[in-house]
Amino acid sequence: MYAFDYKSPSSLSEAADMLQSSDDGVLLAGGHTLLPTMKQRLASASDLIDLGGVSELRGISVSGGQVTIGAMTTHAEVAASSEVANAIAALADLAGGIGDPQVRNAGTIGGSIANSDPSADYPAALVGLGATINTNSRSIAADDFFTGMFDTALDENEIITQVSFPIPDAAGYSKFPNPASRYAVVGVFVSRSSDGVRVAVTGAGPSVFRVAEMEAALADSFSAASVAGISVSDDDLNSDIHASAEYRAHLVTVMAKRAVQKAGG
């Protein structure tokens, strides 16, 4: 790792001040992408600002038809939360399938979405449920948040504080995990609510995306058969040693069918 100054704020405002006043400050959440990247010297920071001591960024609450999760809440906490499981079982299920137990004990929802890894699970849930990302300065709709591969709508000195998920009538998530990393080769999150149907795909493209044709078909008839004949173009999909773009396109339909089945359709 290149050298950095380690900072350990105890409040959100202190963290924001440290970030603002640093030359090239970087926030440290669970660290499970940032630290490996820094170890390889692919990332560096003048100041590493550890949010681990900012207790106001942790916690889960359910009220007013929303599940709200603090940015520093770990995947294990979301997976084990009976409140989340009762309100949006698919969300707890998704969190419980990220990485492995030790990764889930360290990784956080805020860190995951700020990183916007094309294969991360959480972006599918945020877009698939129409979540809202709250920061220390504003609220951002999930549809506007993920802007590209490892890219988000966050400003340079903005800190995610919490994510609010509207509770749907039904939801399901299905992924084809990379057998080594458990990242999603393709993951599809489907939800149905009074606002309509959402189908969000992670792993397949540079960033999470919705499939309008599937959403329309499911709005007509919420069943796996409705999406069985709908495929996405492989033109802009990812292709790597794990899966070709063509294979990923195929998996989108398969995972969408399974997600709809999990959602009761």
Partner 1 sequence: MTVAISMTINGQSVSADVDARTLLVDFLRVNQRLTGTHVGCDTSQCGACVVHVNGKSVKSCTMLAAQASDAEVTTIEGVANGGELHPMQAAFRDNHGLQCGFCTPGVIMSALDLVSVNSDPSEQEIREWLEGNLCRCTGYHNIVKSIQAGARAMREA
Site residues for partner 1 per CB under 8 A: 1, 3-6, 8, 28, 31-32, 35-36, 39, 48, 50, 52, 76, 80, 99-103, 105-106, 180-182
> Using alpha carbons only, how large is the chain's radius of gyration in Å?
18
- Number of residues assigned to the chain: 265
| Cβ nearer to partner 1, comparing 39 with 138 | 39
Residue 190, Ramachandran bin (φ over 0: left; ψ between -120 and 50: alpha; else beta) = beta
Task: Report in angstroms how near the CB of residue 40 gets to partner 1 at its nearest.
Answer: 9
Three-class SS of residue 31? Answer: coil
Cα distances from 139 to residues 19, 103, 131, 206, in angstroms, run 19, 28, 10, 24
| Cβ nearer to partner 1, comparing 76 with 91 | 76
Contact 25, 36 (CB under 8 A): no
| Cβ nearer to partner 1, comparing 10 with 137 | 10
Contact 124, 188 (CB under 8 A): yes
**Token pair 């359910």 is at which residue?**
62
Task: Report in angstroms how near the CB of residue 1 gets to partner 1 at its nearest.
Answer: 5
| Cβ nearer to partner 1, comparing 74 with 253 | 74
Q: What is the DSSP letter of 44?
A: -
- How do strand 139-141 and strand 60-63 relate by DSSP bridges? unpaired
| Cβ nearer to partner 1, comparing 182 with 250 | 182
